[in-house]
Structure 1
Amino acid sequence: MAGALVIDGEIVDADHGVTTPRLYTPPLRPLDKTTSNGYAVIAFSEMVLHVHLYPWQCWLLIHALELNPDGSYRFRRVIVLVARQNGKTTTMGVLAAWWLFVDSAKHSDRVPPVKFLVVGAAQTLDNAKGPYETVKGWCNPKPETEEESELAVEPLQAMVQRISNVNGEEAVICRSKAKYIVRAANNIRSKSAARAIFDELREQHTDDGWNAVSQITKNVWSSQLWGISNAGDYRSKVLARLKDAGRALVAAWRQYVAEGIDAAERFANGEHDATLGYFEWSAIDGCALDDRDGVRQANPSMGYGAMTYQSIISDIDTMTEASYRTEVLCQWVTADIIPYLNPKQWARGVDDTSRIPDSGRVVLGIDTSSDRATTYISAAGLREDGLPHVECIARRDGMLWVTKYLKMLQNRWPGIHEVAIQSKGCPAVDFIDPLTDSGWTVHMVEGFKLGASCGRFKDRVREGKLRHPPQPAIELQAAVAVTRRLGEVEVWDRTKSAMQTSGLIAESQALYALETSDGEPEKPKYQPSQGIKVSFA
């Protein structure tokens, strides 16, 4: 195109989608043909399948198929979010074909082809068949129609022993005994797979399907599980949790680099999950429906095929705003939920330069999700200009890591000794005794304080008197956090919010203790049991 700017093979102008995702896990090392299998997949697509991939598809394959020094995949789980009709099925079909016909033989000493199983899964069997049908079209050794014959690729046909078309038992079986099967998610149990694709993750409204599929790759060397979808809504519990984890990892990397620690290996070998690859093409929350940059960021295929800016925004008047934002802008939709905090007021408090002075008083807040799956630690303190500052400083699965982490934090952050915790009716109660015994000043949030901490937090946000850094995971929680009535006050509701909101709750409780206490420990209004105390190593 005349006048278009081309950078690294990407056409950079207003008529083309953005190749690089808005949020993604950075590589640990420079990516080339020796450090990523993505280049081999792209060559396979061009030379064998005669499929020309778009720049964003190439970018994704190169980054998601990053290799460790021993040749294994860095990422055991890969989560991809991108708007509909951008070529997800083609991408997964190309990758699945390469896994089945090439990758299955690359490390036969570790995983012999007879044990190399590729699984396609989704909430329903029909949803799971997209990439599978694409692969079957390329390799079917006995095409029945002229159209099927035109799709077939002879080298792949020769590598297939047979194809099973029995409903519920669909499979492509290679002569090498490598196999590609497709199943509904709940029918995957007891199988062990080298590779797995979970399509349409947004349709998972319970944990059952994901729990079944996520276990099948754990006992295989260099396995990979891909979850791919467009954005979800308040019902998409599994996708919400994965998105939360992915965004938190991206935010942690940014903070790590901002502090001047730029050694990627140290980042990966420290307290961060280097095996989760998160790649999100989406528009910035709250943008106008026809925002051109937002449309480009969520639709990376725009301008490379039939999809144009005009064809994309033509749906504005025929779709509800919630559906349009989900399907077209790949934004997390909280329709049917009225959040406790006003999103625009919360956004006004974002300040990427905000800091708590080294000499300032700091109160930590700790909260655990209602299912005990994830614990957040947040911090609150006063800036030099007197405005309160809050931020999430740690998030990990489970609860057992907290006490050890706080001990490490005390060694690195002299003078810190205060922590705020809800002291009744939530999982975080378990931390009170061990932290008190360890010398922490514990501020217990209970009774009227539950409503006060929630209400004061909202007051600070509404009045523009609260500052916080840009943290995608917390921003998402602020957009969906709801409350429930407790007497005459509102308190945070962990179970009715569209996703876990413990990071935000921890911030509110830390801020409450900072503003209403003098640093002295609270006296419990109950007598600790004289039985065995649970401690966390």
Structure 2
Amino acid sequence: MTTTSETWTPPSSFAADLHERYGLTCPPWWGTPRRPERKTLGPRVAKIMTRLGYPPMPWQRYVLDVALEIDPATDRFAYREVGLSVPRQQGKTQQILGVMTHRIAAWKRQNVVYAAQTRGMARTRWEDEFIETLDASSLAGKYRTRKNNGNEAIIWTSTRSKLGITSNTEKAGHGPALDLGVIDEAFAHEDDRLEQAMSPAMLTRPKAQLWWASAGGTEKSAYLNRKRQRGRELIEELWETGEFPAVAYFEWFAPDDMDRTSPATWRACMPALGHTVDEATVRAELDKLEAPEFDRAYLNRTRKATPPQDPHIPVKAWPGRADPGSRAGGEVALALDVSADRAHSSIGLASVRGDGLLHLEVVDRRAGTDWVVPALVRLRRLHGPVAVAVAATGSPATSLINDLVAAGIDTPEDAEHPQRGDLAILRTGDQVEACAQWADAVKQDQVMHIEQAPLTAAVTGARTRSVGDAWVLHRTSSLTDISPLCAVVWARWALLTRLPAVTEDYDVLDSVY
């Protein structure tokens, strides 16, 4: 089975199909594909949404068509469960209302139950949003409302079907058989008690469905986090095996290495952007919210508790060293590093600028490791670096040393007289030296970078371990992939140590200090 991670992506044909079928330009990161050979009730719910005053957007039409597919063998819904994880303000509530309204209008004696964070929140949404939307639509007059506390219901006159609310308790959903259960704002549920209460009430109902929906939560959102993890696994298994499960899952999401401030990131994870939401509105939310809350609400990331910063890492000084216009000078050094899980590799560059400051840059970063050696061979041929560096202890990149040597990037024949492009291998002591020099240089305003999201994320999440009275970067305790940071730190060390040896009459101290 494919390893579930934020780096997994569906086949490109998936996005192409959604664009051709729905005009959808923002496909989900994980999403059940449409099976066109199956009939679907999606268009009927789309008509309901239109009558409610919310014509469905492309992403909503896609989700409805898939979620409400009919299995021709049973004439029942193909999916007993539908999971929807999407950022805030994308039209989730309007879609849910359309699904519930269709259910009570289309079939007789249906029992639909809606739940939110609490019963009070469910009551507020039921009365202030659901009823008001229905009352203002062309469907007004086709139902009556019962607002008795504890017995609330929207009852469709012609079908006698009803839409009620419930609380998040072990007893929720108990009682009459349940045809459609909706768990909204799933991030607020710390366990699965509500689903465990609803599921038994659905067993005897042939067209029963459970829907859950939510934006990202926190580490305490146990129910949502398990649902998202399982949904991702099911989609990855689907694409690997071709077998469709009985669960439909849809998740729009921006991985941590995507820049939260970039409209390109927003366009990749907000399917309502350009329809009911504009970039100016998102920008306003970015300006007023703390970064973790913006990430949770609008990038659909799980908000995590932030531990104290590592005192050795110059996190506060790093933003002040950003220079988007910075460019490498004539002399460069390259270095490679690999993430602890080997999911990503990074190639870093260090160079002395014309003003004497050091330029640091991640020149390539991709998934896996098979691309790294060919890329370094090409970069070495193009730039003639003073050295190509790799750590030999405590780094997953160690495994690539033999491949580098086989590709012609070898250690110097004469250690006292290295040649351009020779391999520079960092032992533990070299790494200690490289880390301390980099930290000092950042604090002393001697390095510049071009504000690359993966590199900044690595600096922010980096943690260290002690080596005697000194320290080195530590992958295991770091909060994110630090291979981009290791790559530029190793490159800087290689530049300063090898440049004097390969360049006649060059005093690196005159340029840097």
Match of 2:127 in 1: none
- The alpha-carbon distance between structure 1 residues 200 and 34, as it changes in their structure 2 partners (threshold 3 A), is closer
- The alpha-carbon distance between structure 1 residues 461 and 225, as it changes in their structure 2 partners (threshold 3 A), is farther
1:508 aligned onto 2:489: yes
TM-score by length of 2: 0.55
Residue type of the alignment partner of 1:443: A
Distance 1:429 1:198 in 2: 42
Distance 2:65 2:459 in 1: 41
- The alpha-carbon distance between structure 1 residues 457 and 95, as it changes in their structure 2 partners (threshold 3 A), is same
Residue type of the alignment partner of 2:429: F
**What SS class does the counterpart of residue 343 from structure 1 fall into?**
coil
Deviations 1:243-280 (A, max 9, x none): 22x349979x89xxxxxxxxxxxxxxxxxxxxx94459
**What SS class does the counterpart of residue 431 from structure 2 fall into?**
helix
Residue type of the alignment partner of 1:406: L
Aligned positions of 1:43-442 closer than 5 A:
44=46, 47-48=49-50, 50=52, 52=54, 65=59, 96-97=63-64, 99-101=66-68, 104=69, 115=78, 119-120=82-83, 137-138=100-101, 139-140=103-104, 141-142=110-111, 146=146, 149-150=153-154, 162-163=179-180, 167=197, 169=199, 180-181=209-210, 199-200=215-216, 202-203=218-219, 212-218=230-236, 219=238, 226-227=250-251, 242-244=255-257, 246-247=258-259, 277-279=268-270, 297=283, 299=285, 335-339=306-310, 340-357=312-329, 360-410=330-380, 413-416=382-385, 418-440=387-409, 441-442=422-423
Distance 1:477 1:280 in 2: 28
Deviations 1:287-333 (A, max 9, x none): xxxxxx99963638xxxxxxxx9xx89xxxxxxx8987877898977
Structure 2: tracts of 5 or more residues without a match: 1-14, 28-41, 86-91, 105-109, 114-144, 163-177, 182-194, 273-278, 410-421, 503-513
Match of 1:488 in 2: 469
Deviations 1:200-220 (A, max 9, x none): 354389997655332212325
- The alpha-carbon distance between structure 1 residues 118 and 379, as it changes in their structure 2 partners (threshold 3 A), is farther
User: What value does the CA root-mean-square deviation take over the aligned residues?
Assistant: 5.5
**What SS class does the counterpart of residue 215 from structure 1 fall into?**
helix
- The alpha-carbon distance between structure 1 residues 378 and 463, as it changes in their structure 2 partners (threshold 3 A), is same
- The alpha-carbon distance between structure 1 residues 399 and 296, as it changes in their structure 2 partners (threshold 3 A), is closer
Structure 1: tracts of 5 or more residues without a match: 1-26, 66-90, 123-128, 184-196, 230-238, 255-275, 282-292, 301-308, 314-320, 522-537
Distance 1:517 1:121 in 2: 54
Query: Is contact 1:171–1:181 with CA below 8 Å preserved after alignment?
Result: no
Residue type of the alignment partner of 1:439: G
**What SS class does the counterpart of residue 456 from structure 1 fall into?**
helix
Give the number of the structure whose alpha-carbon radius of gyration is greater. Answer: 2
- The alpha-carbon distance between structure 1 residues 153 and 333, as it changes in their structure 2 partners (threshold 3 A), is farther
- The alpha-carbon distance between structure 1 residues 520 and 217, as it changes in their structure 2 partners (threshold 3 A), is farther
Query: Is contact 2:49–2:94 with CA below 8 Å preserved after alignment?
Result: no
Query: Is contact 1:137–1:151 with CA below 8 Å preserved after alignment?
Result: no
- The alpha-carbon distance between structure 1 residues 115 and 366, as it changes in their structure 2 partners (threshold 3 A), is farther
**What SS class does the counterpart of residue 354 from structure 1 fall into?**
coil
Distance 1:334 1:464 in 2: 30
Query: Is contact 1:457–1:511 with CA below 8 Å preserved after alignment?
Result: yes
- The alpha-carbon distance between structure 1 residues 211 and 456, as it changes in their structure 2 partners (threshold 3 A), is same
Match of 2:117 in 1: none
Residue type of the alignment partner of 1:481: A
- The alpha-carbon distance between structure 1 residues 348 and 143, as it changes in their structure 2 partners (threshold 3 A), is closer
1:172 shift after superposition: 8.2
Query: Is contact 1:170–1:182 with CA below 8 Å preserved after alignment?
Result: no
Query: Is contact 1:201–1:228 with CA below 8 Å preserved after alignment?
Result: no
1:511 shift after superposition: 0.9
Query: Is contact 1:120–1:180 with CA below 8 Å preserved after alignment?
Result: no
Distance 1:434 1:478 in 2: 29
Distance 1:344 1:153 in 2: 63
Residue type of the alignment partner of 2:308: I
Residue type of the alignment partner of 1:336: P
**What SS class does the counterpart of residue 203 from structure 1 fall into?**
coil
Distance 1:485 1:403 in 2: 31
**What SS class does the counterpart of residue 443 from structure 1 fall into?**
strand
Query: Is contact 1:355–1:383 with CA below 8 Å preserved after alignment?
Result: yes
Query: Is contact 1:453–1:508 with CA below 8 Å preserved after alignment?
Result: yes
Query: Is contact 2:349–2:491 with CA below 8 Å preserved after alignment?
Result: yes
Query: Is contact 2:22–2:62 with CA below 8 Å preserved after alignment?
Result: no
Distance 1:153 1:494 in 2: 63
**What SS class does the counterpart of residue 234 from structure 2 fall into?**
coil
Residue type of the alignment partner of 2:407: S
Residue type of the alignment partner of 1:200: G
- The alpha-carbon distance between structure 1 residues 323 and 143, as it changes in their structure 2 partners (threshold 3 A), is closer
Deviations 1:174-218 (A, max 9, x none): x997x75458xxxxxxxxxxxxx7753543899976553322123
1:517 shift after superposition: 1.6
Query: Is contact 1:421–1:509 with CA below 8 Å preserved after alignment?
Result: yes
Distance 2:332 2:200 in 1: 58
Deviations 1:478-523 (A, max 9, x none): 22212121112111121212222211121111111111223879xx
Match of 2:23 in 1: 35
Distance 1:435 1:163 in 2: 59
1:135 shift after superposition: 6.7
Distance 1:98 1:463 in 2: 58
Residue type of the alignment partner of 1:430: S
Residue type of the alignment partner of 1:509: W
Residue type of the alignment partner of 2:23: T
Deviations 1:112-165 (A, max 9, x none): 98645653278xxxxxx999976764334335873665387999x89xx94478
1:426 shift after superposition: 2.2
Query: Is contact 1:48–1:153 with CA below 8 Å preserved after alignment?
Result: no
- The alpha-carbon distance between structure 1 residues 475 and 166, as it changes in their structure 2 partners (threshold 3 A), is closer
**What SS class does the counterpart of residue 377 from structure 1 fall into?**
strand
Distance 1:337 1:243 in 2: 19
1:334 shift after superposition: 7.0
Distance 1:33 1:479 in 2: 41
Residue type of the alignment partner of 2:83: G
Residue type of the alignment partner of 1:44: A
Residue type of the alignment partner of 2:406: D
TM-score by length of 1: 0.53
1:401 shift after superposition: 2.8
